[in-house]
């Protein structure tokens, strides 16, 4: 008989799926690395398990301990899977711009959830970064994950996601495009692919209100670039240590409106029911079309599942309130 010993053994080995209608005008083959096939419905399952296993090995996470993390929801879900199987308690600190569905799912998985304001500086005591650190200091036998600077995040994608893409494309991948948040996915996958073929181009998708694109192009951390935005899961107002700018060839920025509209279009035209960052990612691919030729194989990674955005990007009333639909 063939079966997984527990749900954690089903993480990874997600399929590549060809895009057809939305990419019809592009000269190249566009393949989606479809990460919603992970048991927690997102790419973050990979790094959540890697970070926990590495912390156990280093003695940072002890039996019966409490895992604490600031998350936009998906990393929290991955941590919840591993915490349940391994017998840890979990506290997730999340910003108030994230969808209600994400908060409800975390609670359903047994996590305690703290909700913090989005529109504050990262070092403000009310921010979800600061709150997570404070709780880790206050609670006995607690471990603060810190996915932004924890290099096990990048390691997970170097060891799994990158090799999968290389093998699935038979080494023919020419471009990798992905939304950038903590930076683990783009840095891990990008590093692995460039080791196999230095000519592979690695593109990050950023959002307006985030610092990544300007910092990559100028080396300047411009606080004037920072302002609240709607798009979930990508962009930052900090520079996470996991973002390896040296392996990124460039960034393209996608508006909140385009990200939301293309999230809906993926469902209605490709039957791909995906999260908000997938809309940003596919619009980013379309914006980069001048970089592609007929011989190219472009892999775009889609992070998470549409069920976490039913009340937002898949709700036409919400879309109209935001000015995204007429």
Active site residues: 44
How is residue 230 annotated by DSSP? -
d(CA 216, CA 33): 25
Please provide the distance, in angstroms rounded to a whole number, between the alpha carbons at the two ends of the chain: 54
Sign (positive or negative) of CA dihedral 143, 145, 149, 153: positive
Report strand pairing: 66-70 vs 142-144. Answer: parallel
Distances (CA, A) of 101 to 106, 309, 312: 9, 7, 10
Match 């038979």 to its residue by tokens: 170
d(CA 60, CA 108): 26
C-beta of residue 98 within 8 angstroms of C-beta of residue 107: no
């Amino acid at each position: 008989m063939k079966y997984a010993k527990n749900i954690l053994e089903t993480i990874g080995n997600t399929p590549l799926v060809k895009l057809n209608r939305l990419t019809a005008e592009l000269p190249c083959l566009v393949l989606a690395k479809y990460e919603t096939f992970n048991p927690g419905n997102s790419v973050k399952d990979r790094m959540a398990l890697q970070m926990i296993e590495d912390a156990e090995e280093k003695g940072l996470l002890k039996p019966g301990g409490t895992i604490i993390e600031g998350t936009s929801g998906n990393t929290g879900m991955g941590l919840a899977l591993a915490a349940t199987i391994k017998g840890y308690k979990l506290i997730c600190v999340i910003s108030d711009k994230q969808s209600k569905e994400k908060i409800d799912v975390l609670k359903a998985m047994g996590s305690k959830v703290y909700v913090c304001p989005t529109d504050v500086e990262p070092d403000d005591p009310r921010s979800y970064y600061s709150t997570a650190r404070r709780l880790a200091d206050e609670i006995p036998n607690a471990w603060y994950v810190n996915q932004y600077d924890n290099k096990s995040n990048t390691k997970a994608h170097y060891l799994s996601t990158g090799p999968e893409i290389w093998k699935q494309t038979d080494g023919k991948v020419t471009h990798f495009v992905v939304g950038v948040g903590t930076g683990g996915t783009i840095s891990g996958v990008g590093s692995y692919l460039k080791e196999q073929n230095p000519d592979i181009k690695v593109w990050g998708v950023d959002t307006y209100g985030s610092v990544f694109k300007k910092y990559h192009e100028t080396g300047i951390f411009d606080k004037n670039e920072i302002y609240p935005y709607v798009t979930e899961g990508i962009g930052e107002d900090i520079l996470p240590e996991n973002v390896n700018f040296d392996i990124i060839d460039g960034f393209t920025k996608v508006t909140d409106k385009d990200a939301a509209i293309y999230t809906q279009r993926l469902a209605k035209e490709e039957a791909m029911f995906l999260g908000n960052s997938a809309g940003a990612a596919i619009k980013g691919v379309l914006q980069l079309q001048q970089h592609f030729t007929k011989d190219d194989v472009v892999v775009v990674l889609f992070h998470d599942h549409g069920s976490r955005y039913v009340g937002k990007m898949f709700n036409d009333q919400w879309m109209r309130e935001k000015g995204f639909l007429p």
